[in-house]
Amino acid sequence: MADPITARQVANRQDLAQLVKERELSHIKVGLFDLDGLMRGKYMSRDKFFKAVDSGFSFCDVILGWDIKDQLYDNVSYTGWHTGYPDAAVELLPNTCRELPLEDNMLLILGQLTGRAEALCPRGLLRRVLQTADDMGYQVKAAFEYEFFLFDETPDSAHEKGFRQLKPATPDYFGYSILRNSVHAQWYHEILNLAESMDFPIEGLHTETGPGVLEAALSVDDALNAADKAALFKTFIKVWAQKNQRMATFMAKWSNEYPGQSGHIHLSLVDKNTGQPVFYAADQKHTMSEVQRYFIGGLQQQLPEFLPLLAPTINSYRRLIPGFWAPTHATWGFENRTTAIRVISGGEQSQRLEMRLGAADANPYLALAATIAGGLLGVRSAAEPSPAIVGNAYDTTIPEEQALPATLWEAAQRFRQSSVARDYFGTAFVEHFAASREWEVREFQKHITDWELERYFEII
């Protein structure tokens, strides 16, 4: 008899079959992540599940043709009423098997779109960018860190209140608070245990600036695994919160009174043949290698064109304002948190960069793909960065070419027109994703805001 196996030891179909048999499961949960980073999935009977593992299965391709409110895009060609909404092929990935501790013995398996749909699959896009890195001789290491707000609300109560006057889980500003994490230690322990059980381990968890806001730094991993872990973290933190009669939000900025919520990415390159870090050079200033310098130069050039992959919603642009811990230009600096790219020194194994542009609302696969692609372009072309910003980037005169689009519409147009994006991400993806962001803007423009009513209703 084979020794018992755990979810994270699963490497293939045989391991998966053993684990499902040991747990006597009648159903298994499967899921994949859509363009907005939302997990779509279902429970699958045991027999159907193993047929899907062997031969694949399908989702209606509407999952690529609707927004986060399940409203159908009217401006895309890949799918729509004109196609009849056929199925899109999905491949299940046994080595992504996870425990679902919030569901007793249940297991979760991730999938990814294949066939024609792979051109629009966020995980597929990241895989293609990583293949480019591999062809250049690099392995990419990455880690995500997220800020998120917790509220003493449920989905029902938040809707009843119209998402106004919501009660944060804790009051007032109190960053890095030992008082908060001691009084509410049970929350922290539950989050940390959930993360360990589901294999998106957290190396740091603390209160941030604002009522009820936490920051979690996930552990470093190979880039594809890191994106899986980030996407799972965002999904299951919300699940955990709602099961405990709370809500978590990863909106970029839910209140004008508080800083926005970031989704920062830490990234480094390793020589795939020697295993040696590529960004580290002991004899250079701040131990920054030539490759890291070119990587930063490429990012500076491409961030204005790749921005919607890092800032994908109307709300994302509420965060990108001076003086609120988010960049407004494609700037960089050594240990400078006012810039878009922060170079972090500190030894051979920790030399890296932090992409500070991304908000918590970004799809981890797309945000990471944009960061890697921009950097690799710089390495290939030996792109020199501008001089490092010293001091406050918000008070520094920045060249116009480093200015970031100020709105989602402008960002979508820059992305659509980018020949570099088409070369790296494929024309099908660029056209479809740009159209999805244009749709988002059009949906926003259909609505009258409270600000307009208060300002104009009586007086004008």
Tell me, what's the pLDDT at 1? 53
Model confidence at 226, pLDDT cuts 50, 70, 90, reads very high
Model confidence at 325, pLDDT cuts 50, 70, 90, reads confident
At residue 257, does pLDDT exceed 60?
yes
Q: Say how far apart CA 276 and CA 209 lie, in whole Å.
A: 37
184 and 104, same structural domain?
no
Tell me, what's the pLDDT at 2? 67
Mean pLDDT over residues 47-58, rounded?
95
Mean pLDDT over residues 79-107, rounded?
96
Query: Is there a contact between 115 and 88 (Cβ–Cβ < 8 Å)?
Result: yes
Mean pLDDT over residues 415-432, rounded?
97
Q: Say how far apart CA 284 and CA 188 lie, in whole Å.
A: 41
At residue 109, does pLDDT exceed 70?
yes
Is there a domain that residue 249 lies in? yes
Is there a domain that residue 387 lies in? yes
Is there a domain that residue 440 lies in? no
Query: Is there a contact between 46 and 27 (Cβ–Cβ < 8 Å)?
Result: yes
385 and 244, same structural domain?
yes
Q: What CATH number is attached to the domain comprising 379?
A: 3.30.590.10
183 and 107, same structural domain?
no
Is there a domain that residue 421 lies in? no
Is there a domain that residue 433 lies in? no
At residue 23, does pLDDT exceed 60?
yes
Q: Is the dihedral of CA 219, 225, 230, 233 positive or negative?
A: negative
Asked which of 64, 87, 120 is the last residue of a domain, the reply is 120
At residue 175, does pLDDT exceed 70?
yes
At residue 421, does pLDDT exceed 80?
yes
91 and 21, same structural domain?
yes
310 and 192, same structural domain?
yes
Q: What is the pTM of this model?
A: 0.96
Q: Say how far apart CA 315 and CA 256 lie, in whole Å.
A: 11
305 and 229, same structural domain?
yes
Asked which of 89, 120, 151 is the last residue of a domain, the reply is 120
Q: What CATH number is attached to the domain comprising 84?
A: 3.10.20.70
Kind and range of the H or E run holding 14: helix 13-23
345 and 227, same structural domain?
yes
244 and 107, same structural domain?
no
DSSP letter string, 301-344: HHHHHHHHHHS-STTHHHH--TTTTS-SBS-EEET-TTSSEEEE
Name residue 10's amino acid: V
Tell me, what's the pLDDT at 33? 98
Mean pLDDT over residues 101-124, rounded?
96
Mean pLDDT over residues 48-73, rounded?
96
Asked which of 120, 151, 174 is the last residue of a domain, the reply is 120
Per-chain mean pLDDT for the chain: 95
144 and 214, same structural domain?
yes
At residue 328, does pLDDT exceed 70?
yes
Q: Considering only CA atoms, which of 95, 98, 60 is closest in space to residue 80?
A: 60
High-pLDDT (> 70) share of the chain, %? 100
Based on the structure, what is the number of domains in the chain? 2
Is there a domain that residue 15 lies in? yes
Tell me, what's the pLDDT at 57? 94
pLDDT digits (tens, 9 = 90+) for 351-381: 999 999 999 999 999 999 999 999 999 999 9
248 and 267, same structural domain?
yes
Is there a domain that residue 213 lies in? yes
133 and 102, same structural domain?
no
Q: Say how far apart CA 382 and CA 422 lie, in whole Å.
A: 21
Query: Is there a contact between 329 and 231 (Cβ–Cβ < 8 Å)?
Result: no
Q: Say how far apart CA 182 and CA 168 lie, in whole Å.
A: 17
Q: Considering only CA atoms, which of 3, 104, 107 is closest in space to residue 50?
A: 107
Expressed as residue numbers, the domain containing 310 is 128-405
CB atoms within 10 A of CB 429: 24
88 and 223, same structural domain?
no
DSSP letter string, 99-116: E-GGGTT-EEEEEEE-GG
Is there a domain that residue 435 lies in? no
